[in-house]
Structure 1
Amino acid sequence: MEKLAYALILASCKLRPYFQAHKIEVRTSFPLRQVLHKPKASGRIMEWVVELGQFDIEYKPRTTIKGQALADFIREFPPTFEVEGMECVPEPQPPIAIPENCSPWWNLYVDGAVNGNGAGAGIVLVSPEGHKLQSSIHFDFKAINNDGEYEALIAGLKLALEMKVENMNVYSDSMLVVWHIRGGFQARGPCTDLYMRYAQELIGKFKEIKLEQIPRSENADADALAKLGIQRDAHMLGVIPLKIQYQPSIPKIEVVDVEVEESNFWTTPFQEYIANGTLPTYKDEARKLRYKAAQYVIYDGVLYKRGFNRPLLRCVTGIRCEYIIREVHEGICGNHSGVPPSLTKFSVKATTGLPSTKTLMPSPRPVTAAKDLIGKLPKGKGGVKYVVVEVDYFTKWAEVGAGSFRRDNYDPENNEVNHRLYLDLIEEVRDTAQLRLAAYQQTTRKYFDKKVRARPLKMGNLVLRKMMPNMRVPAHGAIGAKWEGPYIIKTVLWEGTYHLTDMDGRLMSRAWNAQHLKRYY
């Protein structure tokens, strides 16, 4: 299996532009996907999983050639061979005798049409002798194109049942309806599913039916009847009967509001991708999910994350997650739980009197804290005079050559364990950094926006228009004019969009945005 995974890695390296631009299907009869996502993957297998996670790869079983395909090929192209100069061919088969009591075949052509005037259907039933039974239907209810096609098919099947037809060829120009009935397409929507089930129920009442799709040009008679049915004009139809249908053939769907407990958590996308290979619709989200999913595995139906310390970290959600957090901060472990040193932050406090003591949660490793008092300072906001500074290490104050607590108590093994623990929390650190960056950008934008004074353009103002690349004269080069005008603002379509006229009053061909205009004085 490692050789197969290594071959896939080599293919991704040599064909990287194709792997990055397209969705890749890996056809194999080996459980390659299960091997790459197994919980005990380690070493180079784990590295390959991370490297392949950036591509859109889908693993599918290799299809087999059915034996019937070979039999059909031999039947269509019988073998010929020569024996001592003579060409031998298989003996011709005698014609198959058709029993006299065999039911004849009828032909049914159906078509539905929907436009702004309404909906209608056309039906043409042709007997084995060539006689045509034509019918036109007007639907006196709201319908879409697919509903009209299904209603036409259902009405045609009902007409054939009334004529005691047993064997029939059904022709329709709707590819969707034909492949719904055949099972090639999946019905989407409750109404479409009901139409499909009802049509299949009617088809089951016949002895044999063949449903085929034909071009619209070959279904011209049924199409013309459907369009005449929309107009609801019996005089144009002549002897052809016009039927008015007031209700759909399927029962009306009643929508009931049901309260469903929310079950989509942050772990749901990872579980669906690892178990079924389901990816989000958007390409960026799908790529991010594939990259992160390499660190997760499902073991006994539970989602785990591979830690850098090698144990599997169980992922919890919902009520269980709330219970754990509550127990850590408020329960029996509330006063004894340690926090990583990265969570013991540098603190600066301003007080009005004597310095107050800051309470720190115990850390899993020794932490040396230094406290200092700065002041007396000029009175600040709230009458504060002193500043208490608290730092958790003396490292910055150590002299060259002198020992320190950090150096004297350094343990390589414990340091490596803590380093791997921080790597497990790297995603949380990145999320926190992104939130801080967004908050800083919003604060900066708000500060500078306070100094901006809006000067909107008004009707009658003179402005200059920016010269677009297709408007410039190539011969002028870099010294060519970048603004032209002046122009007069004639109308304000909405804020930031204007209609312009030149100094002679001629209106410009289109509206212009404020970012391409500037005031002319």
Structure 2
Amino acid sequence: MHKPELSGRLAEWAVEISGYDIEYRPRTAIKSQILADFVADFAPAMIPEVDKELLLTSRTSLGVCTLCTDGASNGKGSGLGIVLKPPTGDIIRQYIRSIDLTNNEAEYEATITGLELAKSLGAEIIEAKCDSLLVINQVNGIFEVKDDRMRIYLEKLQVVLHRFKKWTLKHVPRDQNNEADALANLGSSVESEGFNSGVVVQLMSSIIETGHVEINSTSFTWDWRNKYIDYLRTGKIPSDAKESRALRTKAARFCLVDDQLYRRSFYGPLARCLGPGEIDYTMREIHEGTCGNHSGTDSLVRKLIRAGYYWNKMENDARSFVQKCNECQKHAPSIHQPGEELYPVLSPWPFMKWGMDIVGPLPWAPGNMTDYFSK
């Protein structure tokens, strides 16, 4: 403004514009605010999808996990059907080939096994549904337990239920439990000679005999370890040549020790490969456990490797975990940037305010100099 030519041009433009009803306002972030208000006011159907996406990214299991179970016993054998609906929305369906059991024992086995699987996924709140009146009434204390085996099953079921923060066990009619019933019948119909552990889970022994559920839980299709375990056990490869070559190359880094997958490394012992139900607990123990110091992403990954653990996308999971840590957010270093005055933008109704930008053509200034005022 100290240059005479610049102030003169400003005065000239002011005289020209004074004849019109034009009001000058500085540019603000009006467009982004309008779009945000429009989405908030006219897209209420997006709220459930946003909540679902938040639950997926936060890897939390605080929602209600629904479990439907059924047991079947016939001349071909016994089978268990499990339909698990985690709060993330993915449905896990599994049929299990069991040892010879009675119908009531199969119902107990299916319920206890389903609860164990839900707990292994990190579920804290469970809503179990079963079509057996005997199991429901014995758990609620309505029916008296006379058989010794039924009493042991009841004690096992009560122990598993109390491992959850909150649980409900209710009876549903058989016609509302068709999916679990079909899976149970399918598990009981599988011939033991043609049994394939990569297709169906096998219950090795009864729960009341071993004291815990001994199952081949790695047969779930959502576990990243399945393709390596199946290849190392059976040697099966995909039909596609490119996928087959990639699988053989990657599987050379892994090995099986007592049916547990481990990854070889150049600078340490074998690293135990973790599944989805173990990742969050392991990171939490190392990050904020007894010896944890709330380290950053890179340091957390190095500590996990030194502790002997491995899984796919370790860096991404560690970064997401550190960013969501409450203590790290509270005690993180403060940002020492200078404060700036805030300019609130009010928009009573979407698109009530409009902003317009007018550009060019821009004339060339004499002497090949840029005309910053008109630009």
Q: Sort the TM-score into its range (normalised by shorter chain).
A: 0.3 to 0.5
Q: Give 1 or 2 for the bigger CA radius of gyration.
A: 1
Bigger RCO of structures 1 and 2 (CA < 8 A, at least 6 apart): 2
TM value normalised by structure 2: 0.38
Q: In proportion to residue count, which structure has more helix? A: 2
Greater percentage in strand: 1
